[in-house]
C-alpha cells in the first residue's frame, strides 16, 4: 500500500469516526529537513567546527568554474 492509499484509508476512517483527518503525506517534509539542518549546525558550533554544510565549498567551487571537470 502506498502512502497516498494509506492516507485515503485513514481519511475515510477519520470521517467515519468524526475525528480530524490526518495530515497529507509530505506536508511536513521541508520543516523536518530544516530542523535536521539546524540541529547539525548547532552541533557543529558546539564542537568548534564551522556551521556550514560539509560539501558546500566544493559545490560552490564547481559552480563558479563553469561545471567543467
Instruction: Determine contact, residues 40/62, Cβ cutoff 8 Å.
Output: no
The pLDDT of residue 68: 55
Do 15 and 22 touch, CB atoms closer than 8 A?
no
Question: Residue 41: its pLDDT value, please?
Answer: 86
Q: Which sign, positive or negative, has the C-alpha torsion 55, 58, 61, 67?
A: negative
Q: pLDDT tens per residue, the chain (69 residues)?
A: 898 999 999 999 999 999 999 999 888 889 998 898 889 889 988 999 887 776 676 777 778 876 555
Q: Which of 66, 64, 43 is nearest to 53 (CA)?
A: 43
Q: What CA dihedral angle connects 55, 61, 63 and 65, to 10 degrees?
A: -160
List the chain domain ranges.
3-64
Amino acid at each position: 500500500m502506498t502512502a497516498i492509499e494509506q492516507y485515503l484509508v485513514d481519511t475515510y476512517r477519520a470521517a467515519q469516526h468524526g475525528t480530524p483527518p490526518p495530515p497529507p503525506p509530505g506536508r511536513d517534509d521541508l520543516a523536518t529537513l530544516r530542523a535536521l539542518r539546524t540541529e547539525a549546525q548547532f552541533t557543529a558550533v558546539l564542537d568548534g567546527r564551522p556551521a556550514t554544510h560539509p560539501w558546500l565549498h566544493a559545490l560552490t567551487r564547481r559552480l563558479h568554474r563553469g561545471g567543467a571537470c
